[in-house]
Structure 1
Amino acid sequence: MEKIRALVIAAFLCGRVCHAFNVGNVVASHQGAPGSLFGYAIATKDGADGLIIGAPTDENVGASFICNEQCVKDDSGKLEGSPGSIGPCLYVINFNPEKVENRQCVDEYSEFSELQYKMLGRCFIKTGIEESKMVEPRCTFHNKYNSPEIDCSYGFGFAAVGQEFDETAIVDFSRSLGTSAKKSLLWRNYDQTYEGSAIARFGKGAVVGSPSRMRNYELAGRVMFYEVRSKEALKLSKYPLWTVQPVEAKVGEGFGSSLATGTFGVKNGDSDLVVGSPYWFEDGRPDLGRVTVFRNHRGEGIFEESLILKGEVTNARFGSSLAVYDLDLDGFDDLLIAAPYGEKGTISVYNGHSGGLRAEPSQIIKSEGYLNWYGLAMGLRNRQLVVSAPKKDFVDVLALRTPLKLTSFFRQFPEKPIKRNEFSVSYEFCYQFSSTLTESIQINVVCEHDQLRVENPKVFYSGLSLQSGRPFCQEILFELKQNPWLDHQHDLPVAIKATLSEGQDQIALDPNSGVNLARKISFDKQCGSDNICMSELKLGRVETITETVVFGADNIVEATTMLEIRGENAFGTFIFVNTTSKLNVAMLLFGANDQKSIPCRQLENNLKSCLIGNPARPDLYRLKFRFDIDPDVTQTRTDIVFYANSTNDFPAESEKRKLSLPHEIRTLFQDSLKVSPSFITFEKNYGPIRWDFSVENKGPSTDNLITQKVKCEVPSIVSGGLFNRTDDFHLEKIDDFVMFDCSSDSSSARCVEITCHTDQLLKKNEILSVYLEAEINDEIFSMLNSSSKFIPEFTFEVGRGPYDKLELFQKETSKIEFTVLMPVALYDSLPLLWIVFAVVTGLLLLAVIATVMYKTGCFTRTKRDECDVGLQYETAVSYRPENNREQHIMSVG
């Protein structure tokens, strides 16, 4: 099978603060047998080179593999199914056909070492570090009301419990199993709680998940804590000491299907609890999944919800598996959350810091393959992440990158504000790192400046070499745009970002160090004698020159206003224009006869900003606005709002100036509209059908109501739907209706085409309706057979709204034309072939009847005195003699 690699991608969801991409490339991989679900469960231990991989359907009995460079099946005990068993279980099954609900299996294990933990499937076992100890596993089948799937199979799930010792539990995903106590299990009857679906170390005991993920069972799940009462015997409390319930629970969300613990916000503090609900749903989207992080208080089982992370992909089951590890070596644990059941399985990395777990992922690891359950099981050990894709039977080992801290410096040249007549700017940035892991690194640096004020807004440097313990500095020189209205009121922002060059997969830059620099270059604002640096600009009354907005080519709007200004040397003042209709072009005109113009820049939607220079100039006191507006045909007016930035970009309502211009419509209907109602069918040669048609214009108000009938041309005939004129039909105009002669021979559909026009101009939102009524005389109607269809009357709209495209606006015509296309299907009489077939069939039927009658003598039987055949017959009779036996007599004489 071709190996499917994982694709590591960056998550651009982190807002202003992104974190190190902690997970690197694939460094090793293990492949299992096809269909074995290789990698359904993974067991790892930090400090140990090997790992244990479960394959629950390997050779139909399941297996676990111990993997270093190669994977070796753990054959310390063979799996054997006893006769009559429903399926495979651990080693030998004690089969009792009379006891259906609780069948046990006993393991046959041998000695094992510390580095080779024997994971025997979904049953619980435990091991010690100092000496080899095992507890007999115990497992059962489903009861008779459920699937016959075996609960105990190799490799379905592994979990570790305990804090100071190294015992291991193997999790049952389908039965109510708790944790082991000596040689017995904490056992409950089957109750759909799925207790034991997940286990994690917590304090002086273990937390156990009970997800109740059956949708028809009214539970959302819970998590329970069992305390270790005896370290030597690993005896757990009989009952849970406390439980945790989901927040805003939803039935069947599977709360407790996965568990993890870690210190995400306090170094060496009490562990927080992380609980997965992979079946959580919202807004009709099933199995989105969510993960809840509970902050621990004093380690006494008192929790508060600190963060809820939700999946975004339907059916991906975000939170199916969890893993905790200090990826970036900052002393805070980081959380990995898998969503394996999407089209592409993903693993999201959430970093911890002093404030707790961050709400956005710093990295998303995505499988390149499809539907392979990537991330269903995860393990972390020795700065490596182990990820499985059991649907495709492979396990990847990905390297974790070691974070490096960068120290950065910034210095402006000269170290004083830039004067207004200076256009050259220079600054210097420096980077430095110290590490025992590597002597040198290579970085890429990009410097970004304001593109509106700088000639070269971006400067790139590739492959800068940094030596450990030695600073590296680079000087930048760039030119400001020589704009007479240069904005010296605001400092010039500079953003510098460093990234690692390619080919350095084992390290990552710590984003919380000096990787990103944000500085400002200051200017000598020269505020003037009034000492007003920020201009205070207010608009006077806005008066419009244009009274209406016209649809079509003539859609220019003009308005004037006066400026009220304070600040003799103030620069960078903006006037904003916002319209409810589309704003194509906007500019400000000033000076004598409006000879000078100020262009306006598009910001968003219909908002534009116009830059005002030094407002002390007298020719700027009076401004004229000129806009090219594309009005919205669904609206009756266009609203325009003007405001200046003055001391902020969002002034109060009292500082805004508003215009509202009504729309004027000068457009017509399209030249031609064709409407095809349902077919009317009839037989030919039955005389005329009368069509009576009228057109009525219904306006939005009584003022616009027009009730006169329009003038209609004599209809033309369209043959076969091809719109070709034909002489097959005879048509004539009779008063207000048209006679349509259907007596002509035809085997194809015909259409009546009526063209009408009116001299009336339509107003906005008016509806033009056409009423057509077909009449046929009673004599003809009674002769139509059952296969004919007749629609006596119908109504339909020709068009709604006079607006279509701009080119139609420019057509100068006073006539509205439309075409009504009325299809009429003609059916001929029965073909001659059917008539011949009917006659032949009738003759054959008569011949058969005659033959039968002749054979039975019906043609020769007469009265006795007229019979010349010399035969007498009597009708056969039945009688019952004294001996009650029925006899039949036929006499012939």
Structure 2
Amino acid sequence: MEKIRALVIAAFLCGSVCHAFNVGNVVASHQGAPGSMFGYAIATKDGADGLIIGAPTDENVGASFICNEQCVKDDSGKLEGSPGRPCLYVINFNPEKVENRQCVDEYSEFGELQYKMPGRCFIKTGIEESKMVEPRCTFHNKYNSPEIDCAYGFGFAAVGQEFDETAIVDFSRSLGTSAKKSLLWRNYDQTYEGSAIARFGKGAVVGSPSRMRNYELAGRVMFYEVRSKEALKLSKYPLWTVQPVEAKVGEGFGSSLATGTFGVKNGDSDLVVGSPYWFEDGRPDLGRVTVFRNHRGEGIFEESLILKGEVTNARFGSSLAVYDLDLDGFDDLLIAAPYGEKGTISVYNGHSGGLRAEPSQIIKSEGYLNWYGLAMGLRNRQLVVSAPKKDFVDVLALRTPLKLTSFFRQFPEKPIKRNEFSVSYEFCYQFSSTLTESIQINVVCEHDQLRVENPKVFYSGLSLQSGRPFCQEILFELKQNPWLDHQHDLPVAIKATLSEGQDQIALDPNSGVNLARKISFDKQCGSDNICMSELKLGRVETITETVVFGADNIVEATTMLEIRGENAFGTFIFVNTTSKLNVAMLLFGANDQKSIPCRQLENNLKSCLIGNPARPDLYRLKFRFDIDPDVTQTRTDIVFYANSTNDFPAESEKRKLSLPHEIRTLFQDSLKVSPSFITFEKNYGPIRWDFSVENKGPSTDNLITQKVKCEVPSIVSGGLFNRTDDFHLEKIDDFVMFDCSSDSSSARCVEITCHTDQLLKKNEILSVYLEAEINDEIFSMLNSSSKFIPEFTFEVGRGPYDKLELFQKETSKIEFTVLMPVALYDSLPLLWIVFAVVTGLLLLAVIATVMYKTGCFTRTKRDECDVGLQYETAVSYRPENNREQHIMSVG
């Protein structure tokens, strides 16, 4: 057995104010027999030196031990008969390690032996007498074998020290001091009621965790009132219940319970409930503890704090303990997470505002997988902690906090001037206590390492006598940089800690243990004598109503900037826009004839220097911006804010200027194609496609020149063809012809570009139609898998301004399938049909492959197996009177 089984760690997670270092080192240990689960249950009482420790598997029948300096087995509840393993329990720390223990034949039938098991459940009628009253363990299923969690949650069940009486609650709804098997079976409902019990007001709160994962309950806590002290009778039904917050099935709410006054001295007790099986984000058995604040002691609670575990499978909240560790009049809470790799106990201190949300101390086992903290007890300024997996119990001393009084004085007691570099001050500590006449402390004084030659001073083993102050003077030199040294006060941090070897006491950090002071300087911070910069940016105004396009897209804006305080470095105005910001300038001088360009930082973000440094004053600022607006947006937002780059930067609030755009181009297109399919016949006639575009932008006099690009359909033989980007362009007369990709052997792609110089106003429609006539030659290459794939692209051309490029593309696509009429088959010669049957499917496949790869479907030159298409395109224009006018035709 290790001499030191627990490592006490200060958490220091409490921010600027930490709490007392309450729990000290191990002062005593008790060891049980291997495999006895020694320490599974612990009974303690303040004012009594001894304690009761349960070992439920000792000699296979269980035992209880009365421990003072040594542990003696209590034989008052010893079982008669053959020994046997009383329970099955499964401990699963990780998927690779699972331990099972089974019940033996002696317990195959329900009987008295099933609930007379020393070391599991016991009642104490007074710890001084150590009298055990019918310890028991209940079995619940109809096969008379224990549930998986039979051993979990057992312990003594006491109503409280106020009544000096006890009660036991089994895993049914029955309450009493004796076991009745008829009640056990009749009331069995898998709620695990009685897993935890704690005194509360004039009765007891009882946990009903429902820890079965396949049971549709998360657990609850019930309150039973004590109706008779003599007979120890509780109310038949609970007076009120408490449910978990954001419950999760199987979280085990009510597996552990505690009560205490964490925020109000001598007030109503708050309720603490453990949910050790709570899970989150796929991480099982993290565990959590909920603290419910009590209102008027009437069972009306509100959630005041939820503390969550951070280690998977550690089951944070498996056991709870309440004690005033730091003697400040507020109860403190200890929460165990015993099932992790190393068991831990976290200490949360109470204060006037309630229980603190961060632990002041974490006690961690030095051993592995020993269930450290599964049971806890507090008595006589000692913490008793068990590790039943390794069969030992540790007793740790609680430290008594001492309050320190501290003093600080600067020499000289006036601000230090710029030409002075020697600084001195004095600190003093004092304490008064009847517990000890003297203490040894260590003191650390820390200063700004960038400004002080010797930034840290350490004193070790300073002796303080009770009732007498101890003082120490510190002298140090500033670095030779008067401007930076004197811009702001010099912070000084002084911290006192106890020297080693004083385990029975602790310094109360809520007293004068930590000192934080500042050395003041004659800063000479400018005309207003304000050393911290303050920036106030006024409302941004402009005479510009809209953002225009082209050469006149200039926006001017004005604002007021008030600067207060010292500005050792530059002050800037930052400008951020949602449109492209070409130029930003800060104007100044008479009639704004002078300007300073703003510096580009990022896309659409510029910084404009106001001054370096900018003296305290009220500045009128005027800006000029050259903006390229986004034609697809409706407005441009310009955000202004000021910033100073001092040692302590200041930033003003942000101001926004929002300007609508003069032009916005959005187009609606519709495509009409007729017919919807093509019949396989010669001299079919022209096929027509209609395409219309409407300007949905706002009304404006700045009109736009349009360009329309019309592509005739691609004709594909043998399947669907999707045009890719690997075309080779070749100019043929007035057309642009594409050599289509290799996956379309007979495709021909032709592009026709149609121009119009008409201006398209709001709500005006530009109509384009295309007619194509399929020549006779094309039908000889078509089959029932051929498709037409027309594509039309509408482009908004260059506008009336040099800088404005509005290339809006809208594409419409449609396909039609070639239909082969039945009549065509009737005209085919019979000889060809017979020949096709005789040659077989294999020869047809070869011919088809040769035709696909070497035929004249893929053409690279004109006049070779040319497929002629005659095209006619036209562009019509429909003005505001909605009458369509013919503009141009190309053939």
TM-score (norm 2): 0.59
* CA 837–385 in structure 1, closer or farther in 2 if over 3 Å, else same: farther
Q: Distance in 2 between matches of 1:436 and 1:865?
A: 118
* CA 873–280 in structure 1, closer or farther in 2 if over 3 Å, else same: closer
Q: Distance in 2 between matches of 1:433 and 1:849?
A: 109
* CA 852–560 in structure 1, closer or farther in 2 if over 3 Å, else same: closer
* CA 258–877 in structure 1, closer or farther in 2 if over 3 Å, else same: closer
Deviation at 1:612, TM superposition (A): 13
Aligned: 1:288 with 2:289: no
* CA 239–645 in structure 1, closer or farther in 2 if over 3 Å, else same: same
Deviation at 1:526, TM superposition (A): 2.8
Deviation at 1:350, TM superposition (A): 0.5
Deviation at 1:77, TM superposition (A): 3.9
Q: Distance in 2 between matches of 1:840 and 1:327?
A: 104
Q: Distance in 2 between matches of 1:694 and 1:600?
A: 46
* CA 467–861 in structure 1, closer or farther in 2 if over 3 Å, else same: closer
Q: Distance in 1 between matches of 2:866 and 2:520?
A: 143
Assess if the C-alpha contact under 8 Å between 2:66 and 2:73 holds in 1: yes
Which region of structure 1 is more displaced relative to structure 2, 161-170 or 557-566?
557-566
Assess if the C-alpha contact under 8 Å between 2:197 and 2:205 holds in 1: yes
* CA 710–795 in structure 1, closer or farther in 2 if over 3 Å, else same: closer
Q: Distance in 2 between matches of 1:421 and 1:886?
A: 89
Q: CA RMSD of the aligned region, Å? A: 19.7
* CA 298–118 in structure 1, closer or farther in 2 if over 3 Å, else same: farther
Assess if the C-alpha contact under 8 Å between 1:348 and 1:361 holds in 2: yes
Q: Distance in 2 between matches of 1:564 and 1:649?
A: 19
Q: Distance in 2 between matches of 1:614 and 1:90?
A: 79
Q: Distance in 2 between matches of 1:9 and 1:341?
A: 19
* CA 844–258 in structure 1, closer or farther in 2 if over 3 Å, else same: same
Q: Distance in 2 between matches of 1:773 and 1:173?
A: 88
* CA 112–421 in structure 1, closer or farther in 2 if over 3 Å, else same: farther
* CA 92–671 in structure 1, closer or farther in 2 if over 3 Å, else same: closer
Assess if the C-alpha contact under 8 Å between 2:493 and 2:516 holds in 1: yes
Which region of structure 1 is more displaced relative to structure 2, 121-130 or 426-435?
121-130
Deviation at 1:90, TM superposition (A): 16
Which region of structure 1 is more displaced relative to structure 2, 199-208 or 163-172?
163-172
* CA 826–99 in structure 1, closer or farther in 2 if over 3 Å, else same: same
Q: Distance in 1 between matches of 2:797 and 2:62?
A: 70
* CA 701–138 in structure 1, closer or farther in 2 if over 3 Å, else same: farther
* CA 492–189 in structure 1, closer or farther in 2 if over 3 Å, else same: same
Q: Distance in 1 between matches of 2:670 and 2:851?
A: 72
- Residues 597-636 of structure 1, C-alpha deviations (whole Å, 9 max, x = no match): 9999999999999999994899999999999999999999
Which region of structure 1 is more displaced relative to structure 2, 179-188 or 345-354?
179-188
* CA 116–560 in structure 1, closer or farther in 2 if over 3 Å, else same: same
Which region of structure 1 is more displaced relative to structure 2, 758-767 or 54-63?
758-767
Equivalence for 2:440: 442
Equivalence for 1:482: 480
Assess if the C-alpha contact under 8 Å between 2:209 and 2:252 holds in 1: yes
Equivalence for 1:722: 720
Deviation at 1:782, TM superposition (A): 34
Deviation at 1:66, TM superposition (A): 1.0
Q: Distance in 2 between matches of 1:870 and 1:683?
A: 16
Which region of structure 1 is more displaced relative to structure 2, 211-220 or 528-537?
528-537
Deviation at 1:71, TM superposition (A): 1.3
Q: Distance in 2 between matches of 1:263 and 1:606?
A: 58
Aligned: 1:201 with 2:203: no
Assess if the C-alpha contact under 8 Å between 1:586 and 1:599 holds in 2: yes
Q: Distance in 2 between matches of 1:689 and 1:347?
A: 85
Assess if the C-alpha contact under 8 Å between 1:176 and 1:196 holds in 2: no
* CA 362–566 in structure 1, closer or farther in 2 if over 3 Å, else same: closer
Deviation at 1:72, TM superposition (A): 1.3
Equivalence for 1:822: 820
* CA 296–656 in structure 1, closer or farther in 2 if over 3 Å, else same: closer
Equivalence for 2:770: 772
Deviation at 1:404, TM superposition (A): 0.3
Q: Distance in 2 between matches of 1:131 and 1:245?
A: 38
Assess if the C-alpha contact under 8 Å between 1:177 and 1:188 holds in 2: no
Secondary structure of 2:834's match?
A: helix
Which region of structure 1 is more displaced relative to structure 2, 217-226 or 112-121?
112-121
Q: Distance in 2 between matches of 1:83 and 1:108?
A: 8
Give the alignment of 1:147-186 within 5 angstroms: 147-148=145-146, 156-169=154-167, 172=170
Deviation at 1:101, TM superposition (A): 26
Deviation at 1:327, TM superposition (A): 0.5
* CA 700–556 in structure 1, closer or farther in 2 if over 3 Å, else same: closer
Secondary structure of 1:854's match?
A: helix
- Residues 678-725 of structure 1, C-alpha deviations (whole Å, 9 max, x = no match): 999999999999999999999999999999999999999999999999
Deviation at 1:265, TM superposition (A): 1.2
Deviation at 1:791, TM superposition (A): 32
Which region of structure 1 is more displaced relative to structure 2, 124-133 or 373-382?
124-133
Q: Distance in 1 between matches of 2:502 and 2:87?
A: 47
Q: Distance in 2 between matches of 1:80 and 1:566?
A: 90
Question: For this pair of structures, how many residues does the alignment match?
Answer: 890
* CA 732–631 in structure 1, closer or farther in 2 if over 3 Å, else same: closer
Which region of structure 1 is more displaced relative to structure 2, 330-339 or 765-774?
765-774
Q: Distance in 2 between matches of 1:805 and 1:882?
A: 28
Q: Distance in 2 between matches of 1:26 and 1:563?
A: 65
Which region of structure 1 is more displaced relative to structure 2, 65-74 or 584-593?
584-593
* CA 847–144 in structure 1, closer or farther in 2 if over 3 Å, else same: farther
Which region of structure 1 is more displaced relative to structure 2, 114-123 or 707-716?
707-716
* CA 765–544 in structure 1, closer or farther in 2 if over 3 Å, else same: farther
Equivalence for 2:66: 66
- Residues 497-518 of structure 1, C-alpha deviations (whole Å, 9 max, x = no match): 1111122111100111111112
* CA 653–461 in structure 1, closer or farther in 2 if over 3 Å, else same: closer
Aligned: 1:552 with 2:545: no
Equivalence for 1:55: 55
Deviation at 1:227, TM superposition (A): 1.4
Q: Distance in 1 between matches of 2:417 and 2:349?
A: 45
- Residues 743-792 of structure 1, C-alpha deviations (whole Å, 9 max, x = no match): 99999999999999999999999999999999999999999999999999
Assess if the C-alpha contact under 8 Å between 1:6 and 1:365 holds in 2: yes
Deviation at 1:166, TM superposition (A): 2.4
Which region of structure 1 is more displaced relative to structure 2, 429-438 or 737-746?
737-746
Deviation at 1:477, TM superposition (A): 1.5
Secondary structure of 1:432's match?
A: strand
- Residues 60-99 of structure 1, C-alpha deviations (whole Å, 9 max, x = no match): 1111111111111112343224799xxx499999999999
Assess if the C-alpha contact under 8 Å between 1:765 and 1:801 holds in 2: no
* CA 392–695 in structure 1, closer or farther in 2 if over 3 Å, else same: farther
Q: Which of the residues 768, 786, 789 maps onto 1:788?
A: 786
Assess if the C-alpha contact under 8 Å between 1:681 and 1:825 holds in 2: no
Deviation at 1:296, TM superposition (A): 1.6
Equivalence for 2:26: 26
* CA 495–843 in structure 1, closer or farther in 2 if over 3 Å, else same: closer
Which region of structure 1 is more displaced relative to structure 2, 621-630 or 345-354?
621-630
Q: Distance in 1 between matches of 2:192 and 2:788?
A: 67
* CA 101–391 in structure 1, closer or farther in 2 if over 3 Å, else same: closer
Assess if the C-alpha contact under 8 Å between 2:422 and 2:476 holds in 1: yes
Assess if the C-alpha contact under 8 Å between 2:715 and 2:747 holds in 1: no
Deviation at 1:142, TM superposition (A): 3.0
Assess if the C-alpha contact under 8 Å between 2:90 and 2:98 holds in 1: no
Secondary structure of 2:843's match?
A: helix
Q: Distance in 2 between matches of 1:492 and 1:413?
A: 14
Which region of structure 1 is more displaced relative to structure 2, 12-21 or 332-341?
12-21
Deviation at 1:311, TM superposition (A): 0.9
Q: Distance in 2 between matches of 1:67 and 1:322?
A: 22
Q: Distance in 1 between matches of 2:835 and 2:342?
A: 66
Assess if the C-alpha contact under 8 Å between 1:667 and 1:803 holds in 2: no
Deviation at 1:33, TM superposition (A): 1.4
Assess if the C-alpha contact under 8 Å between 1:77 and 1:108 holds in 2: no
* CA 96–465 in structure 1, closer or farther in 2 if over 3 Å, else same: closer
Which region of structure 1 is more displaced relative to structure 2, 223-232 or 103-112?
103-112
Which region of structure 1 is more displaced relative to structure 2, 159-168 or 13-22?
159-168
* CA 476–115 in structure 1, closer or farther in 2 if over 3 Å, else same: farther
Secondary structure of 2:496's match?
A: strand
Q: Distance in 1 between matches of 2:345 and 2:98?
A: 41
Deviation at 1:490, TM superposition (A): 2.6
Q: Which runs of no fewer than 5 residues in structure 2 stay unpaired? A: none
Secondary structure of 1:814's match?
A: strand
Deviation at 1:646, TM superposition (A): 4.4
Deviation at 1:532, TM superposition (A): 5.2
* CA 671–245 in structure 1, closer or farther in 2 if over 3 Å, else same: closer
